[in-house]
Structure 1
Amino acid sequence: MANYHRNNVENVVLGRHHHHSHRSKSASVAGHTFRLWNAASFRRIIFDAVSCGASSRYAARSNISDEKQHLQQKQQHHKTTSMKNNAKSEKLSDLLSIAEAETDVETKKKEEKLEDLKRLVKELQQHEEDSTKNKKSEAAAKVRLLAKEELEVRGTLAMLGAIPPLVAMLDETEQNDVNSLVSSLYALLNLGIGNDANKAAIVKVGSVEKMLKLIESPDGLDSSVSEAIVANFLGLSALDSNKPIIGSSASIYFLVRTLQSLDDESSPQAKQDALRALYNLSIFPGNVAFILETDLVVFLVNSIGDMEVTERTLATLSNIVSTREGRKAISAVPDSIPILVDVLNWTDSPECQEKASYILMVMAHKSYGDKQAMIEAGIASSLLELSLLGSTLAQKRASRILEILRVDKGKQVSGSYGLGAAVSAPICGSLSGKPDGGGGRECFEEDEEMMSEEKKAVKQLVQQSLQNNMRKIVKRANLPHDIVPSDHFKSLTLSSTSKSLPF
């Protein structure tokens, strides 16, 4: 458009210039002179001017139209975005409303449940009257079920004060009211499960004395009540602070009596619970003295072999052997050492092997007489096999026992390990009192001869043990029983010494 205007102006100026230069070729109208243009040129000028102006106006209208269209699109996008945001806000508002409604419902349920628990505890706390006996018994039964199902309820009931009235029921309820006694006992048991604070509170309010009072009743005790008391002792003894309190009472005698009962007075479950409770109590060293006042150790040693109770029995003996009196009690049981040595060969029960090896290790470390009994029981072969084929813990303990058996405060224990008597290093000295006397030389030769005999015994022991282990390995591998060890294996066993033992 600018180009068109510039050209037109130049044409006009030039027209005027030519008008002054060539007057002969111009025309005069009303005192003015103009250059004469032909029709075609004039039309072209007019057309160009009109076209340029129209083009500019069209371009302006196009720009305005584009701006309007862009503005409309922007408004439409804003409107769409606003609608989406409103939809999201409404959805979020709905979710929040639902969450608030659910929270209100749960809060209301919790409040109602708390009120129910408060009423339940009030029923337990009512004074003992004929009209309230049934209500208290029913309340105890409800506490038993609620505490069994929900962990949080146990703490809530204890805070509301449910434990003291339940313990009081053990003293107030008549012996023939078995249902009330059982309900209160199992309610206490369930309140203590997984809650150490409740366990401590139950013992603190005197439950142990009241349960023992029921046991000592001259009229006898129903088996269901007895089993409930055993279960309570098991649960309460799991807390360390309760162990000395329960152990110093007469509960150990009751538990041992329950464990040893041969008739049907005690169920298998009650016996298992009694053994587990005794194990818990034996963890506290101060209770070992009370345990030794019974004949529990004899019963435990003689029970080894019954796979249902052997592992727990050995675990209890592992606690008892930690004291000097406990070791003496185990050693005093006839055939206790051979029985424990035999457990080392139970390859199908590594847990029992580990516990038996621990008991033997402690006894061998503390008592020379027990070491001799182990040697006589043929423990060396079992220990060598255990040190090769046992679990990691059993291998370590077996190696430790072998080391203890070899050395005893500078004295060399019999290298034959059952093949001969113990041989000690002689105390050498000059019989004549001279430093280089013949007696000293004679003693030295005797010492060397005795050491060589000892080495021979150790070689023989190792050779026999390795051959026995080879036979057992062959048997386990299902190879032919008449397999003969190779010459290479024989050469290894012949060249073995006590230094090759896995100490």
Structure 2
Amino acid sequence: MDPEGARLTRLVTCSAAIAGGTSSDGDTPRTMTPSSSSSSSVVVNQVLQLICSDDPGDKIHAAMEIRRLTKTSQRYRRHFSGAVGPLVDMLRSGSVESNEAALLALLNLAVKDETNKVSIIEAGALEPIIGFLQSKNAILQGHATASLLTLSASPVTKPIISASGAIPLLVEVLRNGSPPQSKADAVMALYNLSSYEGNISPILETEPIPGIVSLLKSCKRSSKTAEKCVALIESLVGYEEGRSALTSEEGGVLTVVEVLESGSLQSREHALGALLTMCESDRCKYREPILREGVIPGLLELTVQGTPKSQAKAQTLLRLLRDSPFPRSELQADTLENIVSNLISQIDGEEQPGKAKEMLAEMVQVSMEQSLRHLQQRALVCTPGDLSVTTRTSKIPSK
């Protein structure tokens, strides 16, 4: 029998041994009986033998089997923890096929398993994974980015990944990565890393805001990617460098306001948190950039329909914004301030649904009139191209 045939025979034997312990699709393990548990042990031992063999082909096929078995099974992630060392060794081989198979197997081993995450890093996986981030091979770069996304979910690994030099490379993938999923994975990995306070400064030093805003503009406002983008922005605007970068970036504040209006519930809370942080840090500096993007209608909606947490934050931000930088005469005898005050006072009342909706409609109308007047003023100094960017304050839905 030729070597390839022998290899396939061994793998078929492995699969046959586990047949009693898997579902019909071969991916999801059933509840194991004593006999199926025995079969599982046979499979694990045989695959571990293959991954430790000297035959590169055996290693690749074993890695593919590990990836398959650990795709949805926490139990197999535990069983195959002993494969971490050989898989990391495969990352250092010169074979793209071997690198890809090992990366995907390690990725599945790390999912929802803190012990495996730490073991993978302790085995020396970061060095080759970071090397793949710089690869011209888009597939390897994508798998490496996804691997860092998974590994960065552990509190233990966040400072280690940062110290390895991964942050600038992740920001580079965010800017120029291909395919688009790599950019999404990069921003999620950066978000994970940002939850460790010591990583915020290294992230800000890479000037990530343009890449984050660009990705946020291109994705659906209700998507998971949008949620992580605006969550990362919320973390970064806690620092002056982040606030200045967002207001300096064309469409930066506007894009956050759009998420506030039409994002998922979690995204809207992150967007609200980002804007509130900015306004609380320097009310005079950031109130006008926030107001001119037509934020009031979205805030009013959150005071009525948001979670208790977002209602409270929206009310606070409204109070910070209601002293408008525009002349009082433009706000029709203090109508804006009165409506906000009345709305907030009615939130807990028995007539909340009808009253709040009525006042919300009135508030939106006043805000619309204010926005249109402001647009007319800006039209005097903007080109038609500039004006097309700002007309979203007229509340035309995003496509």
Q: State the TM-score, normalizing by the size of structure 2.
A: 0.68
Deviations 1:157-203 (A, max 9, x none): 21xx21111101111x11xx222111111111111122111111111
Cα distance change on mapping 1:394 and 1:205 into 2, 3 Å: same
In structure 2, the partner of 1:181 is 99
In 1, Cα distance between equivalents of 2:226 and 2:39:
50
In structure 1, the partner of 2:83 is 162
In structure 1, the partner of 2:110 is 192
Deviation at 1:297, TM superposition (A): 0.8
2:257 and 2:293 in contact (8 A); partners too: yes
Cα distance change on mapping 1:207 and 1:374 into 2, 3 Å: same
Cα distance change on mapping 1:125 and 1:373 into 2, 3 Å: same
Cα distance change on mapping 1:152 and 1:467 into 2, 3 Å: closer
In structure 2, the partner of 1:470 is 362
1:5-404 alignment, distance < 5 Å: 106-126=33-53, 128=54, 132-158=55-81, 161-171=82-92, 173-174=93-94, 177-216=95-134, 220-261=135-176, 266-305=178-217, 306-307=219-220, 308=223, 309-346=225-262, 349-368=264-283, 369-377=285-293, 379-380=295-296, 383-404=299-320
Deviation at 1:340, TM superposition (A): 3.2
In structure 1, the partner of 2:325 is 418
Question: What secondary structure sits across from 1:357 in the alignment?
Answer: helix
Greater radius of gyration (CA) = 1
Cα distance change on mapping 1:225 and 1:304 into 2, 3 Å: closer
Deviation at 1:403, TM superposition (A): 3.0
| Aligned residue type for 1:166 | L
1:163 and 1:202 in contact (8 A); partners too: yes
Cα distance change on mapping 1:379 and 1:140 into 2, 3 Å: closer
Cα distance change on mapping 1:387 and 1:178 into 2, 3 Å: same
1:337 and 1:374 in contact (8 A); partners too: yes
Unpaired stretches in structure 1, ≥5 consecutive residues: 1-104, 407-414, 422-452, 474-503
Cα distance change on mapping 1:384 and 1:112 into 2, 3 Å: closer
In 2, Cα distance between equivalents of 1:185 and 1:460:
57
CA RMSD of aligned residues (A): 3.4
* Percent identical: 28
Greater relative contact order (Cα < 8 A, sep 6+): 2
| Aligned residue type for 1:210 | P
In structure 2, the partner of 1:411 is none
In structure 1, the partner of 2:15 is none
Q: State the TM-score, normalizing by the size of structure 1.
A: 0.55
Deviation at 1:356, TM superposition (A): 1.6
In structure 2, the partner of 1:57 is none
1:310 and 1:352 in contact (8 A); partners too: yes
Deviation at 1:338, TM superposition (A): 4.1
Deviation at 1:295, TM superposition (A): 3.4
Cα distance change on mapping 1:345 and 1:123 into 2, 3 Å: closer
Q: How many residues matched?
A: 313
In structure 2, the partner of 1:21 is none
Deviation at 1:242, TM superposition (A): 1.0
Deviation at 1:236, TM superposition (A): 0.7
In 1, Cα distance between equivalents of 2:39 and 2:291:
71
Question: What secondary structure sits across from 1:148 in the alignment?
Answer: coil
In 1, Cα distance between equivalents of 2:184 and 2:76:
28
Cα distance change on mapping 1:467 and 1:344 into 2, 3 Å: same
| Aligned residue type for 2:86 | P
Question: What secondary structure sits across from 1:322 in the alignment?
Answer: coil
Unpaired stretches in structure 2, ≥5 consecutive residues: 1-31, 344-357, 366-399
